Structure 1
C-alpha cells in the first residue's frame, strides 16, 4: 500500500466562471490538501484552496482556466502520493485504503467488496457491494468489523444483509 496514492477529494462540479472547482473532501480537511501542490501524478497543480464552509472546498488548479475545463473534471478523484502526507497515528487509516478490498464474514464466507466509506457524523460507515450488485452498509466498529488488512475486510456475520 505504500506506493498506492491516497484519494483526498473528488471534484463535484465547477464553481463560478474562472475555472474553480467544488471538492468533496475525504481527508482531515482543507489544511491537509492545501499542503500538497502536485496532485494526480503531477497532472494537477494546486494554485489556491479554500473552505466552502459546508465541509467541502473550492480549488483552483494551474491547468484549469475556465468553467468548461472545470466542468470536465467533474467526478475526478484528487490523489496525492502517500509520502507527501503526514504520518498516521496508531489506529488511523485512509478511507482509500479500504476501497476495493475483498469482504468476508468472520466465518470465512465471501461477501463482496468495499464500495465506499462514508461518515455521516456518528461513525465511519463501510458500503459493501455483493457479487449480485446489491449494496449494504456496516458501521466501522470493532463489533461489526473485527479486523481488516491490506488484502481483506472481515465483517461479523450478524451484520451481513442476506436476500
Structure 2
C-alpha cells in the first residue's frame, strides 16, 4: 500500500493532492487498486490525463480541459470509478490576485473559454471588467486554466476551498 501522507511528511512538501480523473473513487482505493495500465491516458480525447507521481494517472489542466466524455472510466479494467451519472468531481476554479484584469489589464480569456459561463465579467466605471466566478455553476472542467496568460487560475477541491 502506498501512503501519500507519510511521503509528504518526509519530503516536507505541502503540495495539494493530485487531481485524478472524474468519477474516481477515493484516493486510497485508487492508489491501492490502479495497475497503472495507462488505458485511461490513451483513451482521453483531450490528452489531459498524464502519468503523475509514481506512474499513477493524473489530470493536467495545462494541456486543456476535461470534456467529461467518460472514456477513462469506460476503458479502466479495475473498479476505480463511480457511476458516470453522478457528479464527476468536487473541484472548482479559483482566480487569484495575479489575474490580469485584477491588475487593470484588459483580459477575458477565461470567460471566453467557459462553456457553462461560470466566469462572467462585471463592468467597472473607468476601469477594466473584473472576473466573477460562480462556483455553483463551475463544473471544474479546467478550460479556463490553460488559456490564462497569467497562470492566475487554479483548480481546488471544494473542501480545500472552504478552509
TM-score (norm 2): 0.30
TM-score (norm 1): 0.30
Q: Give the number of the structure with larger relative contact order, counting CA–CA contacts within 8 Å between residues 6 or more apart.
A: 2
Q: Which has the higher strand share?
A: 1
